[in-house]
Amino acid sequence: MKPLLRRFASSPEGVAGALILLLLAFAAVLAPMILPGDPAAIVGRPLLPPFADASFPLGTDQLGRDVLTRLVYGSQASLTVGFSSAVVAIVVGTLVGTVAGLTGGLVDEGLMRVVDAFQIVPGFLLALAFVSVAGPSLAVIVLAIGLGAWTGPARLARAEVLSIRERDYVAAARVVGMHPAEIAFREVLPNALPPVLSLVSVIVAAAVLIEAALSFLGLGDPNSVTWGGMIAEGRNLLRSAPFLSIIPGLGLVSAVVGVYLFGEGLVEGLSIRGRRL
Amino acid sequence: MHRAWRLTKRRLIASIPVLAIVILGTFLLMELAPGDAVDAYLVSLGGGDSGLAEDLRQSYGLDQSALSRLWLYVSSLARLDLGWSIIFNRPILDVVLERLPNTLWLMGSATALAFTLGSLLGIVAGARPGSALDRVLSIGSLTLYAVPGFWLGLVLILVFSVQLRWLPTSGIETIASGKAGIARALDIARHLVLPVASLGFIYLALFLRMMRAGMGEVWRQDFVLAAKAKGLSRWRIVVHHVARNALLPLVTMLGLQAATMLGGSVVIESVFAIPGFGRLAQEAVAGRDAPLLMAVIIVSAVLVIIVNLLVDIAYAWLDPRVGSSEVASK
């Protein structure tokens, strides 16, 4: 664990990304304490521009709700959906990939065709269809996005498992009579995981962007404030109050940049790049 | 030519089971939805009695078991019948064929922009790794890669349509302009500038980063050292040896990105009010048109298969090593 942290800390991108994400995570977690106001409450005159009134630093929207409060609460939805979808995608993908790689034969063939099928349907379209069928809620959105993102981890895990399966320590485990399931979970999976984890940042970033797009089209969780939803509401006032759509977009960009930079650090920390050189 | 034909045949056969899974999965997903097409149709009519609903279900075969309905659906798909759209009250195939050209133009132009500009800038960045220019391009592309397309679209509208008034805000052409021929083509092109930029910029960043990373790997190869030892100029090494070898993975990426780009066009077409295929998905969801949504998903899968096939053929043509061993073994 220690070399991982040290290597991570030595990559400037990783540290910058970690700082951005920590800031956003703190804002998301501490939102009720720093900004005790209800993000849905009408607190002032509508359409107050940013930097005009000290009590509303980023202004108010068309209903007179505080933009800063909504921006901070919006990071909750984005980060929750982003990271939960990535967990779903990584867990499902790694399991499917490991099973396919270890069993081989018809099971492998069948599973990989399912992976192909999920890969040729646009992930956003799949999420759109799933949410429209199951109804918009945070859990459904997480599942819907995870459903379109597990194929990458599945392919990578399968490829890793196929190569690990032939290594000596796996043969040794077999010789000492270890149960196949035990070999799978104790010998193969832990070694197949690091390369799969390098996909985390790309998946989280894509998930944050898909959630924003879903909310923008009106398919976000109706009970939470989302950046995509804020942009959609501000869109009708693009000419008169452009800050309403621009501010939440900047939130999205900084979150995704943070995720990418963090990912660079993670790749460095897991020394995936080092192994190839 | 033989090789391309054999590749096509093999790929098409391999895609049959995959497409079957997509159709089955889409069908199952729609089974989960509360209510059926008749419910949605009655809502659009403003209501109706249960007798009418009964008759309609019977005439569409909706009163039968799920299995026989699946069979009915697959056999009509085989006849290229995609069903009847509730919101358009027309055959879905007609609507899809009418909308597809707009989306293909949008995606094709966005891909062309992203590929040429992205690989060129990638060559500039990768020519001198670690230089100031390289750093600027790296940070710029990383930021651009994090920008949601629909938001970029709104910002571009704000700058180029609202402030500068250079370009139109929405639509695919000026309505009832009476333009024809070249004037109409130019009008459409003007309408497409902002949507193409919004859709393509994220891929531009992707291609730039891939090209740069690919060149980084090639710089370490022995043949580059040999080229340096021969005393070739740096620019000649960059263009003929490094960039050339780093370009091939980008072609593969072109196929992999087809599906995500199609997904992206759903939102971009909604932002710019372009009557395209992607927007159909959003319209189907908003209008609770399940048959239309199913058709959009299946047609997208077919499109992605076709794009990937074209990319594979192009790849085989660019890299003669691909597929040649299989030909020799036959």
Using one digit for the tens of pLDDT, what is the confidence trace for B207-222?
998 888 888 888 888 8
Cα–Cα dist A240/B158, whole Å: 10
**Who has greater pLDDT, B125 or B2?**
B125
Residue B65 zone, left/alpha/beta (φ > 0; ψ -120 to 50; rest):
beta
User: What pLDDT shows up at residue A272?
Assistant: 56
> Tokens 């899809």 label which residue?
B96
| CB contact A209 to B (< 8 Å) | yes
Residue B32 has pLDDT above 90, yes or no: no
Q: What is the ipTM of this complex?
A: 0.86
Task: Specify whether the CB–CB gap between B126 and B243 falls below 8 A.
Answer: yes
Q: How many CB atoms lie within 10 A of CB B286?
A: 14
| CB contact B21 to A (< 8 Å) | yes
User: What pLDDT shows up at residue B323?
Assistant: 55
User: What pLDDT shows up at residue B54?
Assistant: 80
B-facing residues of A in 238-277 (CB < 8 A) are 238-239, 242, 245-246, 249, 252-253, 256-257, 259-261
Residue of A nearest to B296 (CA): A125
Rounded to the nearest angstrom, the minimum Cα separation between B259 and chain A is: 5
Residue B63 has pLDDT above 80, yes or no: no
Residue B58 has pLDDT above 50, yes or no: yes
Rounded to the nearest angstrom, the minimum Cα separation between B222 and chain A is: 14
Average pLDDT over residues A24-34: 79
| CB contact A106 to B (< 8 Å) | no
Cα–Cα dist B202/B304, whole Å: 19
Distance of CA A36 to the CA centre of its chain: 27
Residues in chain A closer than 8 A to B26 (CB atoms)? 129
Average pLDDT over residues B222-244: 82
| CB contact B35 to A (< 8 Å) | no
**Who has greater pLDDT, A88 or B43?**
A88
Query: What tens digit of pLDDT does each residue of B151-208 get?
Result: 999 999 999 988 888 888 888 887 777 777 888 888 888 888 999 999 999 899 999 9
Task: Specify whether the CB–CB gap between A266 and A8 falls below 8 A.
Answer: yes
Residue of A nearest to B163 (CA): A239
Which range among B119-133, B193-207, B312-326 shows the weakest confidence by mean pLDDT?
A: B312-326
Residues in chain B closer than 8 A to A116 (CB atoms)? 18, 21
* Exposed e or buried b per residue across B16-38, where buried means at least 16 C-beta atoms within 10 angstroms of its C-beta: eebbebbbebbbebbeebeebbb
Residues in chain A closer than 8 A to B263 (CB atoms)? 122-125
Rounded to the nearest angstrom, the minimum Cα separation between B293 and chain A is: 7
Query: What tens digit of pLDDT does each residue of A161-177 get?
Result: 998 888 888 888 888 88
User: What pLDDT shows up at residue A150?
Assistant: 94
User: What pLDDT shows up at residue B328?
Assistant: 40
Query: What tens digit of pLDDT does each residue of A46-74 get?
Result: 777 787 777 777 877 777 788 888 888 88
Going by pLDDT thresholds of 50, 70 and 90, the confidence category of residue B1 is low
| CB contact A231 to B (< 8 Å) | yes
User: What pLDDT shows up at residue A100?
Assistant: 92
Rounded to the nearest angstrom, the minimum Cα separation between A99 and chain B is: 19
Residue A275 has pLDDT above 60, yes or no: no
pTM above 0.95, yes or no: no
Nearest to A238 by CA among B160, B84, B166: B160
Q: What is the mean pLDDT of chain B?
A: 85
- The CA-to-CA distance between both ends of chain B, in Å, stands at 16
**Phi and psi at residue A169, in whole multiples of 5°?**
-65, -25
Query: What tens digit of pLDDT does each residue of A128-159 get?
Result: 999 998 888 999 999 999 998 999 999 999 99
> Tokens 């940049």 label which residue?
A257
Helix (H/G/I), strand (E/B), else coil: B91:
strand
Residue of A nearest to B283 (CA): A217
Structure-block tokens of residue B193: 């500038």
Residues in chain B closer than 8 A to A134 (CB atoms)? 32
| CB contact B226 to A (< 8 Å) | no
Residue of B nearest to A229 (CA): B151
Write the CA distances from A132 to B53, B279, B284, B285, integer angstroms: 23, 15, 10, 6
Cross-chain Cβ contact B301/A126 below 8 Å: no
Q: What is the mean pLDDT of chain A?
A: 86
**Phi and psi at residue A60, in whole multiples of 5°?**
-125, 155
